[in-house]
Structure 1
Amino acid sequence: MNHSILLFSILASILLFSSCGNSSEKPVQHIQEEKTDLLLDKKEANEKKIQLTKKQVEAMNISFGDFSQIKISKFVSATGTLGLPPNAYSSVSAKTKGFIKESKKYVEGSYIKKGEIMAYLENPDLILDQQTYLEVAAELRFLKQELSRQKELLDANAGVLKNVQKLSAQVDMKTATLKGIAQRLAYLGISVNNLTTNNIVHRITILAPMSGYVTSINMHNGMHVTPEQELMVIVSENHLHLELDVFEKDIALIKADQKISYTVPALGSEVYEGEVHVIGKEFNVENKTIRIHGHLEKKRPKFIKDLFIEAKIWLNDRTVQALPEESIIKDGAFSCIYVAKEKQDGAEIEFEQIKVIAGATDKGFTSVKLIDPISDDKKIVTNGAYYVYAQSKLGEGGEHEH
């Protein structure tokens, strides 16, 4: 709610309670003529008093309490993005040149599993490679048989050593050729274990190299591609982390394993958790910041590349005196709280404004340092402080009524 509207509503409530709670009382006539300086000083002092009737205090649910001793951690604010390490990205490309066929209907943001068929690649050269393999395999079988026969003749003193040596060299060369073709076909995804003239294929599959989300697509059916072309990019969020920029003045406070709480404004106000993992070693001269890398914990936000985040890096916990966040009023350049004597006679309760130094806020409580001490007979307004603040502003307008 707009601050001005809230203040106006509270002022209206106070006026209503004042008029209703005092309708049976006689109006008090303010002194119009100030006869002495003493009377003037007394009037000014009265105008500075903040007073509410006990009925108003009850109706506005104003309650009193004391400081709480709780653990509140200071924090360093930071901004950044959800990032990924280089090995979280994978480019998809064809293993040889050819034409794209039966491309799946992926769009950016689609999730894909490792090993999933993304498209087929057709190329007549694939047929020639398999044909060559089968031909070399047949030649090798013949050479091995001939080598075996020549060795038998040589053992029987009927053969020629030179023929054996020549055949042995040819067997070695054909073996190397065959293994090379087999490795090439295996790289393309064609197994030679059961390859025959009856199962030669004319196309190969393009498979997803890893599981993740598609971030770019540069292929379509009928498109001629080469191994140098990037057809698609897949990102895996398994190694998603925080990339935060911390200002130079705060970097000395940051240590590994400190807790991080962060929000992704574009996705709502939900708070997620993480911790400091690595403190960067490079200083950004332009922005006067250092990069902090943080690990995510438990529940993670939906990943959208380079999405802006706001974070708090929490420093070591310490026990401090604190008050509920709503009991501290920010008024211009300073913060204040309100106190009142625990026991007061009469129909009204008088409040006193105390200036304080507000510190870190955590889980609804704010650490507080007093500028001046509070006497033991006074209690702090822990709920409804804004009503008292509104009454103080009403009093400044000179319209306070009893």
Structure 2
Amino acid sequence: MKNLHYKLILVLSLSFIGCKEETESTGEETSNTNEITVTRQQFESSGMKIGTFETLEFPEIVQTTGEIDVPPENRAVINAFVGGYVKRNPLLVGDDVKKGQPLITLENPDYIEIQQQYLEVAEQLKYLKAEFDRQQTLFEEKVTSEKKFLQAESDYRRNMAMYNGLRQKLQMLNISPSLVEQGKITSEITIYSPISGSITAVDVSKGMFVTAQDRIMEIVEKEHMHLELIAFEKDVMQIKKGQEIIFKTPEGNSNSFSGEVYLVGKAIDRQSRTVLIHGHLPDSLVEKLTVGMFVEAGIVTNKTKQQALPEEAVIEQEGFSYVLHLLGEENGNYIFQKKEVRPAATYNGYKAIENTADFEANARFLTNGSFRLIGE
């Protein structure tokens, strides 16, 4: 019985010692969980850096979308006033053209008929003008009746209207009325560029018949390129002329560009509840952008100064954000503590930190290499 009592005491003692060792081990691990030691060699070989909070301006941004566009007067759609067959079409998309430069040549027998009509009316006009003058003189001398005079005047003025109309039509077709009156009739017309710019579309090919309703090509003058953005009704009150626009294009390889708000629309689209925003672009961007490009843009409505750290210094883990706070140096080693932070806005590679009051004024942090250490 005595041996049994001794054995029981021994078992209880060993169990107590085991529990005590486990508790002490867990407590030491908990106390050191948030501390990380980095040797100087590790620090230097890994290119780690230490920095402090920086006071930076963070913008308040209204997000919008839109496209690169030009004003209506800087975009020209080329049509034929009278249809015809494409005879010469030497230009391609992307070609630059000057105002007044030949674009395309069309051919059609109808052009000949218009010139013949003009010639006939022009010849008849000479006779009717002479007859009108004769009847006017006779009427003034009371030799002829008023009826004959009025008939001659009516014929002359009706013919004059036809003459002027056909003459205007020839000029619209870029056919010289003077050459037609000299008997020089052509079956071809040439269409000239109404503006200087770049060809953005060519919709015809040689031998194709185009009507007056068909678009032949489009020309865009890029000098007046601008941003045409769409903002939601709830954001309109924050947007004002002169505010900075920061935008990106899908083709821009994540590069951002800058513009400026020039006009804020006064009418709200009733279906989409949006407003058009017109933005100006610097001249340096004209050759880099293309009309019709889709853009994602932010309009800077306000700027506030905030304490921030580089994005690389703030690591997200299981829904929380952390930084490595430098506690000090021991024997050439760096001692960091993993501490939670509350990040706010992100801009230009920095994150604003809301709970800076949780740190001392000159707190230092690992600004490069945090991800690797926290991840471990």
Common fold by TM > 0.5:
yes
Alpha-carbon offset, residue 263 of structure 1: 1.8
Corresponding residue to 2:126 among 141, 147, 160: 141
Alpha-carbon offset, residue 87 of structure 1: 5.7
Corresponding residue to 2:243 among 253, 258, 280: 258
Amino-acid identity (%): 28
CA 1:225–1:321: 2 relative to 1, 3 Å:
closer
Corresponding residue to 1:98 among 76, 80, 84: 84
Aligned residues: 353
Opposite residue 326 of structure 1, the aligned amino acid is E
Alpha-carbon offset, residue 350 of structure 1: 1.8
Normalising by the residue count of structure 2, what TM-score does the alignment of the two structures yield?
Answer: 0.76
Q: Does 1:383 align with 2:370?
A: no
Alignment of 1:175-254 (within 5 A): 175-193=160-178, 195-244=180-229, 253-254=238-239
Alpha-carbon offset, residue 271 of structure 1: 1.7
CA 1:217–1:337: 2 relative to 1, 3 Å:
same
Q: What secondary structure is seen at the aligned counterpart in 2 of 1:69?
A: strand
Opposite residue 333 of structure 2, the aligned amino acid is E
Q: Does 1:303 align with 2:290?
A: yes
Asked whether the equivalents of residues 72 and 320 of structure 1 are also in contact (C-alpha less than 8 Å), the reply is yes
Structure 2 counterpart of 1:370: 355
Normalising by the residue count of structure 1, what TM-score does the alignment of the two structures yield?
Answer: 0.72
Asked whether the equivalents of residues 135 and 149 of structure 2 are also in contact (C-alpha less than 8 Å), the reply is yes
| Structure 2, unaligned runs of 5 or more | 1-17
CA 1:282–1:196: 2 relative to 1, 3 Å:
closer
Q: Kindly provide the CA deviation profile for residues 63-96 of structure 1, in whole angstroms up to 9, marking residues without a partner as x.
A: 4443222222133444444345666554322212
Q: Does 1:126 align with 2:117?
A: no
Opposite residue 130 of structure 1, the aligned amino acid is Q
Asked whether the equivalents of residues 34 and 338 of structure 2 are also in contact (C-alpha less than 8 Å), the reply is no
Taking the aligned partners of 2:46 and 2:213, their CA distance within structure 1 comes to 73
CA 1:129–1:390: 2 relative to 1, 3 Å:
closer
Asked whether the equivalents of residues 114 and 209 of structure 1 are also in contact (C-alpha less than 8 Å), the reply is yes
Structure 1 counterpart of 2:28: 42
Q: What secondary structure is seen at the aligned counterpart in 1 of 2:125?
A: helix
Corresponding residue to 1:75 among 53, 61, 65: 61
Asked whether the equivalents of residues 314 and 322 of structure 2 are also in contact (C-alpha less than 8 Å), the reply is yes
Structure 2 counterpart of 1:13: none
Structure 2 counterpart of 1:173: 158
Opposite residue 327 of structure 1, the aligned amino acid is A
Taking the aligned partners of 1:136 and 1:199, their CA distance within structure 2 comes to 16
Opposite residue 87 of structure 2, the aligned amino acid is K
Taking the aligned partners of 2:300 and 2:160, their CA distance within structure 1 comes to 66
Structure 2 counterpart of 1:9: none
Taking the aligned partners of 2:28 and 2:137, their CA distance within structure 1 comes to 134
Alignment of 1:283-294 (within 5 A): 290=274, 292-294=276-278
